[in-house]
Amino acid sequence: MSRTIIGFGVSLLALIGLVILPTVIDAYGVGLLLGLAGYVTLATAWALFSGPTRYVSLATVAFFGIGAYTVAVLSETLPYPLVLLVAALLGMVVAVLVGLATLRLAGVYFVIFTFGLAELIRQLVTWYEVNVTGTLGRYIFLPFSATDIYWQLLGLGAVTLLIGWWIGRSRIGLALKVIGDDEVVAAHAGIDIARIKLALFTVSATIMTLVGAIQAPRWTYVEPSIVFNPTISFLTLIMALLGGATRLWGPLLGAVPLFLMFEWLSANFPSHYSIILGCLFIVIVFVVPRGVLAFIEEHSGRFRNRKPEESAK
């Protein structure tokens, strides 16, 4: 128990540090922090569902885009907190619908459907905008500075980590581990697989929607092809995988170095960006299939093996 308290204390101190940080660094640094906070939250939210269940979801940007687009459509007609609420509700409703339709599907089917979901929503939004409203693209005028957006994302990220921590030590977390290991066993143990998966998928998707909604004011101009850019799904996935999707801090650990690297790459090698991204994907799958954290644990096995015995005494 004392370790938990120390962990919370350190996390809280880090959080306070991160809150103060934008007041001492320049605008470029704040921009970096903002993007970082966004991806850490996305990756952590992704791992909430996909880590324990091993369902590889590529629908991240579908929800992210729903959030961003909701803000673009409603920012001038509703007060901002209400807009966020509507976005969250929309994301939730879509997640429940998608979940009900697809969570019964096994591995590949699920990957493929989520793969196409963002594209489907993008096409529907584009079609609607062109044929019904007559314009493609919208402007967002909200009086938020980069720091304001960063603080909101930071708060959401902290809440996401907290949810992850709570799930990890609750009965749901235990049930999820069983589902991830063997669904048949889980079903026989009386676990309501469908309901738990659906609930988790919805929580994860709602957080992703909120990230999109909060980040939307960063773009003053929004278009379906911008907010439904599939690269966001891929980056989220690879970040969570690099760190380790089954650990609470894994996605964060993967998101920080990868985000900084991709920032640097897209600035310096814009045309070779996707080649490098692809190579990185392959390397991660081959070298650290279960994430850096698990990799370190396995390879420092000599030191770790002694510890449980000692603590058992």
Partner 1 sequence: MIVTAIISGLVLGGTYALVAMGLTLQYGISRIMNLAYGETIIIAAFCAYLLVSQLGINPVLGLIIILPGAFAFGYLVYGLMMQPLVKRSAKSGTLEVDSILATFGLLFVLQGVMLVVFGSNYTSYSYLNFGVQIFGATIGANRLLAFVLAVVIGAALYLALTRTRWGTAIRAVAVAPQSAPLVGIDVNRTARFAFALGATLAASGGVMISMYQTFTASMGVIFTMKALVVVIMGGLGNLMGALVAGLLLGLVETLVATYVDPGLTLAATYAIFLAVLLWRPSGLFGKAAS
Query: Is the Cβ of residue 59 or residue 88 nearer to partner 1 in the bound state?
Result: 59
SS3 content of the chain, % helix, strand, coil (to 5): 80, 0, 15
Per CB under 8 A, the list member of 24, 132, 282, 312 interacting with partner 1 is 282
* Whole-number Å distance between alpha carbons of 29 and 219: 17
| Beta carbons of 75 and 218 less than 8 angstroms apart | no
Shortest approach of partner 1 to residue 46 CB, angstroms? 14
- Residue 221 DSSP code: E
Tell me the two tokens of residue 292: 């850096």
Q: Counting contacts by CB under 8 A, is residue 299 touching partner 1?
A: no
Task: Kindly calculate the radius of gyration of the chain based on its CA atoms and give it in whole angstroms.
Answer: 20
CA angle 160, 252, 216 (to 5 degrees): 60
Q: Counting contacts by CB under 8 A, is residue 124 touching partner 1?
A: yes
Q: Counting contacts by CB under 8 A, is residue 287 touching partner 1?
A: no
Count interface residues toward partner 1 (CB under 8 A): 43
Q: How remote is the C-alpha of 97 from its chain's centroid? A: 19
Tell me the two tokens of residue 36: 């970082």
Query: Is the Cβ of residue 4 or residue 274 nearer to partner 1 in the bound state?
Result: 274
Per CB under 8 A, the list member of 181, 278, 298, 299 interacting with partner 1 is 278
Q: Counting contacts by CB under 8 A, is residue 184 touching partner 1?
A: no
Three-state DSSP at 134 gives coil
| Beta carbons of 213 and 67 less than 8 angstroms apart | yes
Q: Which residue has the tokens 């196409």?
A: 116
Shortest approach of partner 1 to residue 44 CB, angstroms? 19
Query: Is the Cβ of residue 160 or residue 233 nearer to partner 1 in the bound state?
Result: 233
Tell me the two tokens of residue 299: 């390879």
Three-state DSSP at 58 gives coil
Per CB under 8 A, the list member of 86, 273, 294, 297 interacting with partner 1 is 273
Per CB under 8 A, the list member of 10, 130, 136, 189 interacting with partner 1 is 130
Q: Binding segment for partner 1 among 76-84, 119-127, 160-168, 220-228 (CB under 8 A)? A: 119-127
Where in 56-115 is the site for partner 1 (CB under 8 A)?
56, 101-102, 104-105, 107-109, 111-113, 115
Q: Counting contacts by CB under 8 A, is residue 241 touching partner 1?
A: yes
Q: 274 burial class (0-12, 13-18, 19+ CB within 10 angstroms)?
A: exposed
Per CB under 8 A, the list member of 281, 294, 295, 296 interacting with partner 1 is 281
Shortest approach of partner 1 to residue 36 CB, angstroms? 22
Task: Give me the residues that bind partner 1 (CB under 8 A), please.
Answer: 54, 56, 101-102, 104-105, 107-109, 111-113, 115-117, 119-120, 123-124, 126-127, 130-131, 230, 234, 241, 271-286, 289
